[in-house]
């Protein structure tokens, strides 16, 4: 049975209400709707809480913006579903460091290393290791302070381990996607403005200028063209188009060729 077939048989409004009161208490209704849309698009059961709502400071909008991001649990599920997940190492930590950040005393590991194993199609087991540093990952308590938030202060080791595991899972199983997890993006900011990535139409190069048509050659050919025009075997318009494909005709030259029609009319 497909996972989408296991979704609760209830209206979207009712499901949003259930999620708001259980898994995402205090979240805005629109944010919970985003969670539901994410899960429906990815064929996920929202009741398993595969994604999280992460408030991120948007420097352009000058406000906190709710963003739906995958949790480490979703990466674990997707890796297991490949049938090639061969295990994971215990996290290894660097030396503990005690420092004062934003007036707050905190002890944290300098780094954390996690290795994920994947059984390849030839039967060999490959190892993919990620090494993450605490100072590059921790979430701050606010946009104007470098102090860690409560979770990163209280669980300094465990939070960094989840970030290292997420990176290792992306290395071993690139098919799980490249989106950062909620643990990695918590407390971060959107710095860049949206960029236009639509394909740009390449400007066609200007054609090279055609050489001018010789007046002497025109005078010589006028005598040859007149009988042909009189016999309806060609026309001034055809002659002008043919010559213009290879040469540049002056207005005076064009007028002379057009007069061949007038001569033809007089002869008629």
Distance of alpha carbon 127 from alpha carbon 85, whole angstroms: 11
What is the C-alpha to C-alpha distance for residues 15 and 263, in angstroms, rounded to an integer? Answer: 86
C-alpha to C-alpha distances, 217 to 212, 220, 251, nearest whole angstrom: 11, 5, 16
- Rounded to 5 degrees, what are φ and ψ at 267? -65, -35
- Interhelix angle 236-244/251-267, rounded to 10 degrees, is 160
What residue ranges do the domains of the chain occupy? Answer: 72-178, 215-267
Regarding beta strands 96-101 and 104-109, do their DSSP bridges make them parallel or antiparallel, or are they unpaired? antiparallel
- Tokens 């918590």 -> residue: 186
Q: Report the DSSP pairing between strands 51-58 and 189-190.
A: parallel
Question: Helices 251-267 and 215-230, interaxial angle, to 10°?
Answer: 30
User: Would you state the torsion angle of the CA atoms of residues 158, 148, 56, 191, taken in this order, to the nearest 10 degrees?
Assistant: -110
pLDDT of amino acid 93: 97
Both structure tokens of 7? 């979704």
- The reported pLDDT for the residue numbered 182 is 80
pLDDT at 13: 86
Give the H/E segment covering residue 87.
Answer: strand 85-88
**pLDDT attached to residue 9:** 63
Predicted confidence pLDDT, tens digits, the chain (268 residues): 455 555 546 788 888 888 888 888 888 888 999 999 988 888 888 888 888 888 877 777 777 788 888 888 889 988 999 999 999 999 999 999 999 999 999 999 999 999 999 999 999 999 999 999 999 999 888 878 899 988 899 999 999 999 999 999 999 999 887 788 887 877 666 554 444 444 555 555 666 778 898 888 888 888 888 888 787 778 788 788 888 888 888 888 888 887 886 444 444 3
Q: Is 255 helix (H, G, I), strand (E, B) or coil?
A: helix
Q: What pLDDT shows up at residue 219?
A: 86
Query: Tokens 């290393």 identify what position?
Result: 113
Q: Tell me, what's the pLDDT at 201? A: 54
Question: Which residue do the tokens 């205090």 mark?
Answer: 26
Report angle CA 29, 30, 32 to the nearest 5 degrees.
65
- C-alpha distances in Å from residue 235, one per residue of 22, 238, 264: 84, 5, 10
């Amino acid at each position: 049975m497909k996972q989408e077939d296991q979704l609760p048989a209830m209206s979207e409004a009712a499901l949003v209400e259930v999620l708001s009161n259980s898994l995402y208490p205090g979240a805005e209704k629109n944010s919970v709707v985003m969670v539901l849309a994410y899960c429906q698009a990815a064929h996920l059961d929202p009741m398993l809480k595969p994604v999280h709502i992460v408030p991120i400071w948007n420097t352009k909008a000058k406000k906190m913006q709710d963003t739906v991001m995958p949790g480490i649990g979703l990466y674990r599920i997707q890796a297991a579903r490949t049938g090639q997940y061969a295990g994971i190492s215990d996290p290894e930590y660097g030396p503990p460091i005690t420092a004062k950040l934003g007036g707050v005393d905190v002890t944290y590991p300098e780094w954390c290393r996690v290795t994920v194993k994947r059984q390849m199609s030839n039967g060999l087991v490959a190892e993919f290791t990620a090494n993450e540093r605490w100072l590059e990952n921790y979430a701050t308590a606010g946009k104007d302070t470098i102090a860690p938030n409560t979770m990163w202060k209280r669980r300094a080791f465990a939070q960094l381990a989840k970030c290292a595991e997420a990176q290792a899972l992306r290395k071993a199983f690139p098919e799980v996607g490249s989106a950062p997890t909620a643990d990695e993006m918590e407390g971060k900011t959107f710095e860049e403005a949206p960029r236009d990535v639509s394909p740009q139409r390449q400007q066609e190069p200007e054609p090279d200028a055609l050489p001018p048509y010789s007046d002497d050659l025109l005078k010589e050919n006028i005598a040859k063209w007149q009988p042909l025009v009189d016999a309806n075997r060609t026309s001034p318009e055809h002659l002008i188009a043919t010559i213009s494909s290879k040469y540049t005709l002056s207005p005076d030259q064009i007028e002379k060729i057009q007069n061949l029609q007038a001569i033809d009319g007089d002869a008629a």
